Structure 1
Amino acid sequence: MATSRELPPVAWRLVGFVVAVKLLLHLAASGSYGYFRDELYFLDCARHLQWGYVDDAPGIVWLFKAALLAGGSLPVVRALAALGGAVTVLSASLLARELGGKGFAQAFAGLCVLAAPIFLAMDGVLCVGAWEPLFWMGCVLLALRIARTGDSRLWLWFGLVAGLGLLLKYTMGLVLLCFLVAMALTPLRREFRKPAFWAGVGLALLLFLPALLWQVRNHFPLLTDMENIRREGKNVVLGPLAFVKQQIEFLDPLLLPVWLAGLVALFRRREARVLGWFYLLLLGAMILLHGKNYYLAAIYPMLFAAGAVALEAALDRWRWSRAKAWPRAVPAAGVAATFLLFVPVFVPLLPPQKLHAYQVRLGLKPERAEVSHAGPLDQVLGDQFGWPEMAQEVARIYASLPPEERAKTGIYAGNYGEAGAINQFGPALGLPTAICAHQADSYWGLPAVEPANLICLGCSREGLEGHFDSVTEVAVHHSPWGMAEENRPIYLGRGLRTPLHTIWPRITHWN
């Protein structure tokens, strides 16, 4: 590993090529299917900016606000996701350089991130996962440089990145806690005695303070939401072995030797040992807290970088290989081959029927992270189908009503995806804003003027009949490639017996 001496130059041609492939791949696929369920929700949140939400920190919503200001179209939203993915690839290459890696290690680290299925899937939609690695890897890069050079002034930059990471996702708090424990286990604990370290801590807390105060003022809805998830058994709970197995699978089993070698290499190097402990502590925390299988994904660019440097060093020690290209070309070609194999599975370049057939033929359909989501495609892809058609069906029903009845009719959405679809596509179809009591929509979903009738999405007849004089099934929404839970009847409830504001606390549901 490089110490305080000069680092190798950045191999911009090689690294830039890998980054460009990542960016152009996701841009090419950006308009293939449709908005993802959570994208519709976050667009809705961006129309109601706050310092916090029931289930998310405000940072992800700021990205969607930027997308709305640029028009809010699907290509604009997906361009932001592609940009996040490209920077994640770049971060792996820069980490490899910080570890002393030359051109091959830098490019190979980026290539591993490019080929990993989890990043192919997550970077195809604008979600927290597309941008989270930037903040994790930003902190890792700064910590590594502090350990290597002793420049404690960099803790202020660490605090800035950590604070912005906390505003993107609250899980960053667990990440930072694990990193502090890792510091205490290594020589980097000497930094605890330096004012610059605590200045960085103070900056991170200061940046996070508005979001924390929002949670306090609203009685910590995030904790309530998390408890509801646990109580309702929403997520697939994995044991330790199953969790590790799925890490191996979504990173590509072929890449297991790379990131395992990276973990070993971190422990063998004094300046980087803190990062080895950091990974193990975070892995243990995610298993103990029953995190979803992909919650740890943002840490792996670090291990790919360390593994790439270890591979390069091994090849350099192999004396006769220095004058030949093939010892480096073989592992790079192997990773590139798996990249080409996995792209049609996780990136929507094929029509859905061909994509599904390809997934079935290879047996590569991803594991579910949530119990209830089912469909012919995995959730990230399946949840991109059916939303415009749902809004069109509601518009047809709404337009068929007599004018006097239409004026007294609203639209009730059972979940935030349905509400997001109505609010995204509905204005062009002449629909009113959706009424929704799910997640953050519960804060703004109650209309100022209450309707007498409701077109109801995602509801059961039995649940509606106690609230209306009459309930009629007026359509059945069905999207063959969408998620099964959305393929349900649409009801028209006439004569709402109890005002919505009266029953709102009872129908509000956070996961």
Structure 2
Amino acid sequence: MQAKHLKWLILSLALLKIAFHLYFYDMLEPHRDELLYFSLGTHPASGYASVPPMVGILAFLLTKTIGFSIFAIKILPAILGGVMVWLTASTSKALGGGWFAQVLAALGIFVAPIFIRPFYLYQPVGFDIFFWTLIFYLTIRYLNTRRHSYLLFLGLASGLAILNKHLVVLQLGALIVAFLLSSERKVLTQKYFWYALLICFVIALPNIIWQLNHGFSSIRHFNALNKYQLVYLSRVNFLKEQLLMPGIFLLLTCAGLAALLFFQKLRAYRLLGVTALLVIGILLVAKGKGYYTAGLFPLLTAAGAVWWESFLKQWYYRLALAGVLVGLSVFLIPIGLPIDSPKNLVAHFRKFTEKYGMDGMLRHEDGKIHSLPQDYADMIGWEELAKITDAAYKQVPDKNNVLIYCENYGQASAVNILGKKYGLPEPVSFSDNYYYWAPREIPATTDTFIYINDELGEDINKLFTDIRLIGTISDPLAREHGTMVYLCQKPKASFSQFWKERVAGLESPF
């Protein structure tokens, strides 16, 4: 295939990837995390409680340029998915792959299960996959050319990656160790390597300062995550997920890891295989979540494509491989992308689990099997919550003396973002970054409380004389099904004093 034809083919696949994700952009409501990240965008800062600043800053820029809408939420992840098609094909080319390897790698990014949902949801995960792949690509380009500029670009990419998700520090640390263990260790003594470290540090510095000023909330967040989630994860399941996440494209990812370590054609890039092993091994020991390794998969896909290209010489074998990979991945698309209505998705997952017995995708954090995957259940009910909250707000005579409280960040973000079209004020909460935004004192005249939770707290029940249930999230498919909105009025004692005492007794959730 001629170079110009290959270029247009890869570009077409990239554009098709973008169009594919955007076609289904409004099948469900925004995800609770997407609403949180756009709430962060209403308070641009150099750091947040559970994530670095990039996701909030980008949300701020999006709302200031194209406004808020579901399309505004989905546009950037979709574009990033298209960029990943091109970047992974380019990585395969940099590894010595020809036209078939590049197309195969691009197809992997297009349809492999691990690359569907990250480029549909506005979350740091998709950006993390991009930055990991960019760092590997720049490393390969440096190994190929020995140009010092690639080291400087690595410093720039690494600094930006840290501003997106701190998990990338694991990749960078493993990459440095892999260099030390290889014959390429001399690069670590070059001044351009230290310049790269300096660039990385300067870019990440605002977040480092924020972390210092907020007691390293990211470390406390990780400790809480380890205490309440990671400690219960299985190392066996972690290894299983490394095989399940790419679906049938495990034929490429497994081949890619082996090729980076043992394939003679890729011997110059063995340190990348060592890096991948180190990342997987550390996360295995630490009981990390399976998807934490997602940033490795584009590299492994690209390397695997190079190996298969070398192994399959005849065009019909190559066509058969591509057909099998794409054909067996297409029917898994509904797992990563809501391509139908919630009702039809329920029917699809019911038939799927009955036929294949794979109900793990329907298991939520509560350990129970539900009708939809948790991510999908987290994309239902928010519009209803905003409408019910608005109904409560309209019943308040004096809007200056009301406080809206939400128990978790999903509820708070739905009211904050979706409630803007109703003119709702920003709610308060003590969940995630809302803890830092919550007022420590409220005006003495505050006498009305809109309370959103799955039950009425005993302290609230005792404080107010007039408590009315305004509405409940009624959709049984919503993860927030049963969440209630109460309108609380006529406090028996000073509500502002109660609030002051309540806040004083709180500890940071992270």
**SS of the residue aligned with 2:410?**
helix
Match in the other structure for 1:85:
81
**SS of the residue aligned with 1:457?**
strand
Alignment counterpart, residue 155 of structure 2, candidates 149, 156, 159 = 159
CA spacing shift, 1:373–1:194, aligned 2, 3 Å: farther
Q: Which amino acid aligns with 1:194?
A: Q
Contact 2:133/2:299, CA 8 A, preserved across alignment? yes
Contact 1:81/1:130, CA 8 A, preserved across alignment? yes
Between the aligned partners of 1:481 and 1:196, the Cα distance in structure 2 is 57
1:419-474 deviations in Å (ceiling 9; x for gaps): 11111122322322211111111112327546322111125324434762347350
Contact 1:37/1:417, CA 8 A, preserved across alignment? yes
**SS of the residue aligned with 2:449?**
strand
Return 5+ residue gaps in structure 2 as ranges.
Answer: none
Alignment counterpart, residue 443 of structure 1, candidates 436, 451, 459 = 436
Between the aligned partners of 2:14 and 2:482, the Cα distance in structure 1 is 39
C-alpha displacement of 1:287: 1.8
Contact 2:350/2:371, CA 8 A, preserved across alignment? no
Q: Which amino acid aligns with 1:355?
A: L
CA spacing shift, 1:460–1:211, aligned 2, 3 Å: same
Contact 2:404/2:451, CA 8 A, preserved across alignment? yes
Alignment counterpart, residue 28 of structure 1, candidates 23, 47, 58 = 23
Between the aligned partners of 2:177 and 2:119, the Cα distance in structure 1 is 30
Match in the other structure for 2:373:
378
Match in the other structure for 2:311:
314
1:306-341 deviations in Å (ceiling 9; x for gaps): 00010011123xxxx2xxx32111111112212321
| Superposed counterparts of 1:348-359, under 5 Å | 348-359=338-349
Q: Which amino acid aligns with 2:121?
A: V
Contact 2:156/2:199, CA 8 A, preserved across alignment? yes
CA spacing shift, 1:98–1:481, aligned 2, 3 Å: farther
C-alpha displacement of 1:483: 3.8
Match in the other structure for 1:328:
318
Contact 1:374/1:483, CA 8 A, preserved across alignment? no
**SS of the residue aligned with 1:474?**
strand
Alignment counterpart, residue 13 of structure 1, candidates 8, 13, 20 = 8
C-alpha displacement of 1:14: 2.4
Contact 2:14/2:82, CA 8 A, preserved across alignment? yes
Alignment counterpart, residue 240 of structure 1, candidates 235, 242, 248 = 235
C-alpha displacement of 1:373: 8.8
Between the aligned partners of 2:367 and 2:405, the Cα distance in structure 1 is 21
Match in the other structure for 1:262:
256
Between the aligned partners of 2:42 and 2:369, the Cα distance in structure 1 is 29
**SS of the residue aligned with 1:461?**
coil
Q: TM-score, normalised by structure 2?
A: 0.91
Alignment counterpart, residue 282 of structure 1, candidates 266, 271, 279 = 279
**SS of the residue aligned with 2:274?**
helix
| Superposed counterparts of 1:394-473, under 5 Å | 394-401=389-396, 403-404=397-398, 407-446=400-439, 449=443, 451-458=446-453, 460-465=455-460, 468-470=463-465, 472-473=467-468
Match in the other structure for 1:5:
none
Match in the other structure for 1:219:
215
Contact 1:373/1:485, CA 8 A, preserved across alignment? no
Between the aligned partners of 2:416 and 2:364, the Cα distance in structure 1 is 27
**SS of the residue aligned with 1:228?**
helix
C-alpha displacement of 1:160: 0.4
Between the aligned partners of 1:105 and 1:357, the Cα distance in structure 2 is 37
Return 5+ residue gaps in structure 1 as ranges.
Answer: 1-7
Match in the other structure for 2:115:
119
Q: TM-score, normalised by structure 1?
A: 0.91
Match in the other structure for 2:166:
170
- Asked if 1:136 corresponds to 2:132, the answer is yes
- Name the stretch that deviates more: 8-17 or 419-428: 8-17
**SS of the residue aligned with 2:464?**
strand
Between the aligned partners of 2:188 and 2:90, the Cα distance in structure 1 is 26
**SS of the residue aligned with 2:298?**
helix
CA spacing shift, 1:428–1:291, aligned 2, 3 Å: same
**SS of the residue aligned with 1:493?**
strand
Q: Which amino acid aligns with 1:257?
A: L
- Asked if 1:104 corresponds to 2:104, the answer is no
Between the aligned partners of 1:487 and 1:235, the Cα distance in structure 2 is 28
C-alpha displacement of 1:346: 2.3
**SS of the residue aligned with 1:350?**
coil
Between the aligned partners of 2:459 and 2:278, the Cα distance in structure 1 is 48
**SS of the residue aligned with 2:30?**
coil
C-alpha displacement of 1:482: 4.4
CA spacing shift, 1:374–1:440, aligned 2, 3 Å: farther
Match in the other structure for 1:249:
244
C-alpha displacement of 1:20: 2.2
| Superposed counterparts of 1:291-302, under 5 Å | 291-302=288-299
Contact 1:152/1:191, CA 8 A, preserved across alignment? no
Match in the other structure for 1:387:
382
1:28-59 deviations in Å (ceiling 9; x for gaps): 01122111101111111111111101100001
Q: Which amino acid aligns with 1:74?
A: I
Question: Aligned Cα RMSD in Å?
Answer: 2.3
Contact 1:238/1:287, CA 8 A, preserved across alignment? no
Displacement over 6 Å in runs of 4+: none
Between the aligned partners of 2:11 and 2:476, the Cα distance in structure 1 is 36
